[in-house]
Amino acid sequence: MRIVAGEHRGRRLKAPRGARTRPTADRVREAVFSILGDIDGARVLDLYAGSGALGIEALSRGAASAVFVERDPRALEAIRANLAAIGAEPTVVRADALRFLARAPGHFDVVFIDPPYDSAPRLAVRLSERLPAAVSDNARIVTESDKRKPLELTLPLLTERTYGHTRIAVHGA
């Protein structure tokens, strides 16, 4: 797994060992950022961050800041190692994503949500309720889930695409 584009293009990223974390494939990340377009200066939130690949890709492409939220200790270790490798020191928070959203500091312009595939459907309502308070007016919210058990937010859907069994949906605020 590598950073696809930007300042840190080509740099390898570490992923935590085990089956609990499923890093977003390079091809899917490239497609996500193609959909998003310019993110220069954006404030990014990476929920269920895993390896941090989506947030780190955003930083490499010019995002002003990123907050990584993850509760698994092995994933947090991988995120910190990946950030150290690119010389970045954004905020890394060990917390449950829903609890974090309930007290999110500020508003974010881009939010990545990539929960464990098996829990995605049951998280949809609570995420849909809590996200509006944590995002800016023109925010874009990107979800990644299994197309067979999708994470379907009740926020306005801008576009959706599938890559194999992976569903990417982009919502507006």
pLDDT greater than 90 at residue 2: no
pLDDT digits (tens, 9 = 90+) for 21-36: 566 777 888 899 999 9
Say how many C-beta atoms besides its own lie within 10 A of residue 148's C-beta. Answer: 8
pLDDT digits (tens, 9 = 90+) for 105-120: 889 999 999 998 889 9
Percentage with pLDDT > 70 across the chain: 94
Percentage with pLDDT > 90 across the chain: 75
pLDDT, the chain, mean: 90
From the list 51, 50, 45, 10, the residue with the least C-alpha distance to 30 is 10
pLDDT value, residue 22: 60
Q: Let me know: does 48 contact 115? Beta carbons within 8 Å.
A: yes
pLDDT value, residue 10: 66
Confidence of residue 140 (pLDDT cuts 50, 70, 90): very high
pLDDT value, residue 69: 97
pLDDT digits (tens, 9 = 90+) for 44-86: 999 999 999 999 999 999 999 999 999 999 999 999 999 998 8
Domains of the chain are 26-172 (3.40.50.150)
For the record, the structure tokens of 55 come out as 């947030």
Residues 6+ apart with CB under 8 A from 19: none
List residues bridging with 163 in a β-sheet.
Answer: 166
